[in-house]
């Protein structure tokens, strides 16, 4: 994997995107895309301009890890999952993550999860040992952030697939002073929230993320 470090380099020099645009003549869209997307395709001419402007060599503009990682949704046996495929040299491995949607959460692990959200989403592996997590933890922060973004894109693709009709969620009920989860269709749960913008807490094995789930023209957008 190759990732650009523009965001880090700008922060180190206390430079804004506006300043870079004005000083280099490159478009704002181009600089914003490179800064926000470590995997962005960059022309050699743009790399040359930015390296010259920042006073760095191309080897300092990029980070590299001898590993290729692909994250995509997987639909199997009436379950929505996420598969991570890693390739190193000639060896390829796959790691599978399940997803649970629910309207409440019992977690008390950190401040983010203790806040009130409309919908909780847990992404986890069924295996006792998360082998991909061991790989993830050894990667530079830029790669980690990019992988988390790819997981979120995979989740959004699941929500916008035809398969959403078969996805179940859990609703927390209180019956006879006892709390228990009831299984129901995810679409029913989302409709019951009755909001165009739903606060969404996503729990990965490596980080908790707070997002907004927007429902627009029957399309789900995670921001």
Per residue in 45-71, pLDDT (tens digit) is 999 999 999 999 999 999 999 999 999
Boundary-marking domain end, from 14, 35, 64: 64
Q: Beta strands of the chain (E only): which ranges?
A: 2-4, 62-64, 68-76, 79-88, 91-102, 119-124, 168-175, 178-185, 197-203, 208-216, 219-222
217 & 133 share domain: yes
Q: What is the model's pLDDT at position 17?
A: 94
58 & 74 share domain: no
- Indicate if the pLDDT at residue 177 is higher than 90: no
77 & 49 share domain: no
43 & 113 share domain: no
Closest to 169 measured CA to CA, from 111, 213, 109, 206: 213
96 & 185 share domain: yes
211 & 119 share domain: yes
Range of the domain at 22: 2-64
d(CA 87, CA 199): 35
> Looking at residues 168-182, what average pLDDT do you find?
78
8 & 72 share domain: no
Number of domains observed in the structure of the chain? 2
40 & 88 share domain: no
For the record, the structure tokens of 139 come out as 């990667």
What value does the mean pLDDT of the chain take? 89
At 179, is the pLDDT very low, low, confident or very high (cuts 50, 70, 90)?
confident
d(CA 73, CA 159): 10
- Indicate if the pLDDT at residue 122 is higher than 70: yes
- CATH number of the CATH domain containing 11: 1.10.260.40
96 & 141 share domain: yes
Q: What is the model's pLDDT at position 109?
A: 62
Q: What is the model's pLDDT at position 163?
A: 85
Q: What is the model's pLDDT at position 108?
A: 60
Boundary-marking domain end, from 12, 46, 64: 64
């Amino acid at each position: 994997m190759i990732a650009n470090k523009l965001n880090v380099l700008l922060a180190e020099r206390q430079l804004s995107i506006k300043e870079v645009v004005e000083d280099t003549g490159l478009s704002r869209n181009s600089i914003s895309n490179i800064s926000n997307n470590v995997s962005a395709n960059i022309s050699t001419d743009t790399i040359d301009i930015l390296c010259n402007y920042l006073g760095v060599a191309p080897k300092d503009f990029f980070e590299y890890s001898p590993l290729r990682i692909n994250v995509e949704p997987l639909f199997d046996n009436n379950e929505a999952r996420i598969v991570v495929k890693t390739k190193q040299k000639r060896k390829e491995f796959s790691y599978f993550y399940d997803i649970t949607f629910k309207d409440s959460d019992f977690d008390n692990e950190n401040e983010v999860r203790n806040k009130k959200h409309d919908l909780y989403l847990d992404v986890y592996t069924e295996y006792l040992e998360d082998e991909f997590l061991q790989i993830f933890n050894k990667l530079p922060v830029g790669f980690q952030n990019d992988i988390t973004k790819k997981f979120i894109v995979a989740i959004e693709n699941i929500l916008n697939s035809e398969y959403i009709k078969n996805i179940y969620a859990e609703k927390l009920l209180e019956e006879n002073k006892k709390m228990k989860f009831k299984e129901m269709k995810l679409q029913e749960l989302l409709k019951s929230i009755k909001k165009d913008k739903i606060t969404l807490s996503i729990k990965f094995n490596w980080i908790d993320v707070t997002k907004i789930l927007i429902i627009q023209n029957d399309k789900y957008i995670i921001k």
